[in-house]
Structure 1
Amino acid sequence: MRIPILLWLSLTLSLLSCGNNQASMGEPAAEVAADTDGSADMEMAPASEEASVDKSIVSAAVAAPGQNNEPISATPAANRKLIYHATVRMKVADLARANQRMDSLTRAVGAFVEGASEEREDGEWRHEMKIRVAPARFQTLLAGLGRLGTVESKQLTTADVTAQHADITARLVAKRALEQRYRALLAKANKVADMLEIEQKMGEIREDIEATESRLRTLNDEVSYSTITLTYYQELSQRRPDAPVLSFGSRLLQSFYNGWELLTDLVLGLMEAWPLVLLVAAVVAAVRAWRRRRASRAK
């Protein structure tokens, strides 16, 4: 009986030791798994943060213009609204030939002359014009102008109107939507007073819409076509006339006229100074009378 009991006890102890070993082996495995999961979470956290930041930047870049009434600051350069303007003044040797070359140059780059004037003054034959050209040909046209003559001055300016364009567009959309709402109210109005009031409001909104559309058209035109204000001139030679040769008789007659003018000026000057002449005459008469009285007393 002792042998089966000892055998049973030994089996029981061996089973308990195996269970403890498996439990001790399971705990490190669980800790390793937990550490692995934790490190994976820590590695994924920065990636998720970067993804969220990228998404916010992209969403800000593609946001509709005028949303929240804030200008777009992440718009790509290719989509920006830029206005280019240049002012050029140059001197040419032959203005007529320069005009012909200007016509050929503007046709070659697809530009057109919006306004021109020509005048001769101050020893110059001057031509002024306002040229409109597509932005893609702006620099090409400027380079061509430099070959017409000697450039004396050149000024280039670039205006970024992206935010202004977006603001005007958003205002226009809002005003059109407001006009549609007033149209819906007008269709539902039953009273004459309400109808008149709504029509008055619609008239005011229509004026605002037309003014905003005009501003937007002007802005689009300035963006679509760059402007070059060009002035080129040719110096004109001024010949001095030769002095005429006067004969002796002509010189004698001219001297007589000069003497007559001198006498006339003298008489007129005395006539203008008559109060002073009278005052001097009165002083002289008083002095003489005083001297005569003094001489008579001395005798």
Structure 2
Amino acid sequence: MKYSLGIALGLAALLCGCSHTKNDAEAVADVAPRSPQYLMSAPAPLQESPNSDDQATADVIPGPRPYTELIVAPSRLLIYHADLRLKVASLPRASARLDSLVHRNGGYLSAATEVRAEGEWRQAITIRVAPARFQPLMASLRGLGTVEEKKLTTDDVTAQHADVAARLATKRAIEKRYIDLLARARKISEVLEVEGKIGEVREEIESTESRLKTLNDEVAYSTISLTCYQTLPQPVPEAPVVSFASRLVESFYTGWTLITSLLIGMVAIWPFLLLGGAGWWAVRRWRRSIAQAEG
């Protein structure tokens, strides 16, 4: 009986082991066909772009992005100014060519004066042009005539512009605070005081804005002060024909003028004549007294 029970338990264990082995095999068989499909449906790894290596690295590797941007220096704000003096053969032709050159380079004439004096025909012109066309226009202007004087100056107003812009922002912030105070004011005296402060700040803001606008205009357009002149022939006056009678009358007048000048001169030196006469009389008397004493 005991042996029969042991054999029955052994067969039951063997049957359970075979059942578990079959289930494990079926599980493996069920999973194995799906493995390639799972791998195919998995998200593909990130591809590196040849034009964005840093971006691909930042997407694959977690953490802070590497700093690869270039540090660009702020552009300088420069004001260009030139003084140019030219001698031209014909001022009208030079003026016509000048208008064409200025228009071709995108500039304009801000002032012009024309004068005829001291044997020359002179024209003074102020030209405004963009900085990119400053040097080409200067090279073209030199072809109008002979350069007698040229002066170039460059002013760096970067720091000045930044200072004016910062002061403008500060004054606007002060104005805003005063406006907030005005909204909270309850007494008439407080309202009047704050309104007075707002008026002062607004005057300073307008002045600062005007200065900033002037700087922007000078930076945006360079200035060329051009002077062109043409020499003019001066006629030589002919010598007048003088007759003998005219020369005789002129000589008589000259002699009379000389005599009157001598008389006036003698009258003018009367103190010296008086002193000289007194001295001569004193010397003569002194000699006479000596002669009497010896005799």
TM-score, normalised with respect to structure 1: 0.70
- Report the equivalent of 2:260: 264
SS at match of 2:163: helix
The answer on 1:148 being equivalent to 2:163 is: no
| Aligned with residue 180 of structure 1, among 161, 176, 179 | 176
- Report the equivalent of 1:248: 244
Encode CA deviations 1:199-258: one digit per residue, 9 max, x unaligned.
Answer: 222122111111110100100110111100011111222333232232222222221111
- Report the equivalent of 2:221: 225
SS at match of 1:249: helix
How far apart are the structure 2 equivalents of 1:235 and 1:85? 27
Letter in 1 for 2:168: L
SS at match of 1:114: strand
- Report the equivalent of 1:281: 277
SS at match of 1:241: coil
- Report the equivalent of 1:30: none
Q: CA deviation at 1:195?
A: 1.7
Q: CA deviation at 1:298?
A: 5.1
Letter in 2 for 1:207: E
Question: Cα RMSD (Å) of the superposition?
Answer: 2.4
The answer on 1:118 being equivalent to 2:114 is: yes
Q: CA deviation at 1:133?
A: 1.5
How far apart are the structure 2 equivalents of 1:277 and 1:132? 75
Letter in 1 for 2:206: E
Letter in 1 for 2:265: G
Letter in 2 for 1:282: A
- Report the equivalent of 1:138: 134
| Aligned with residue 238 of structure 1, among 234, 237, 246 | 234
Letter in 1 for 2:113: S
Identity percentage of aligned residues: 56
Encode CA deviations 1:162-209: one digit per residue, 9 max, x unaligned.
Answer: 232222222212211221121111111112222222122212211111
Letter in 1 for 2:180: A
- Report the equivalent of 1:31: none
Q: CA deviation at 1:121?
A: 3.5
- Report the equivalent of 1:68: none
SS at match of 1:147: helix
| Aligned with residue 91 of structure 2, among 73, 89, 95 | 95
How far apart are the structure 2 equivalents of 1:87 and 1:51? 51
How far apart are the structure 1 equivalents of 2:289 and 2:222? 98
Encode CA deviations 1:15-47: one digit per residue, 9 max, x unaligned.
Answer: xxxxxxxxxxxxxxxxxxxxxxxxxxxxxxxxx
Letter in 2 for 1:127: Q
Letter in 1 for 2:103: R
SS at match of 2:144: coil
- Report the equivalent of 1:42: none
How far apart are the structure 2 equivalents of 1:214 and 1:229? 23
How far apart are the structure 1 equivalents of 2:162 and 2:156? 12
Instruction: From the CA coordinates, give the structure whose radius of gyration is larger.
Output: 2
Q: CA deviation at 1:296?
A: 4.5
Deviates more, 1:176-185 or 1:237-246: 237-246
SS at match of 1:85: strand
The answer on 1:204 being equivalent to 2:200 is: yes
Q: CA deviation at 1:108?
A: 2.9
Consecutive unaligned residues in structure 2, runs of 5 or more: 1-62
TM-score, normalised with respect to structure 2: 0.71
How far apart are the structure 1 equivalents of 2:279 and 2:152? 77
How far apart are the structure 2 equivalents of 1:163 and 1:280? 81
Encode CA deviations 1:259-281: one digit per residue, 9 max, x unaligned.
Answer: 11111111111111010011111
Letter in 1 for 2:205: I
Letter in 2 for 1:261: T
How far apart are the structure 2 equivalents of 1:116 and 1:275? 65
- Report the equivalent of 1:213: 209
The answer on 1:168 being equivalent to 2:181 is: no
Letter in 1 for 2:120: E
How far apart are the structure 1 equivalents of 2:288 and 2:152? 91
The structure carrying a bigger helix percent of its residues is: 1
How far apart are the structure 1 equivalents of 2:283 and 2:193? 98
Consecutive unaligned residues in structure 1, runs of 5 or more: 1-47, 62-73
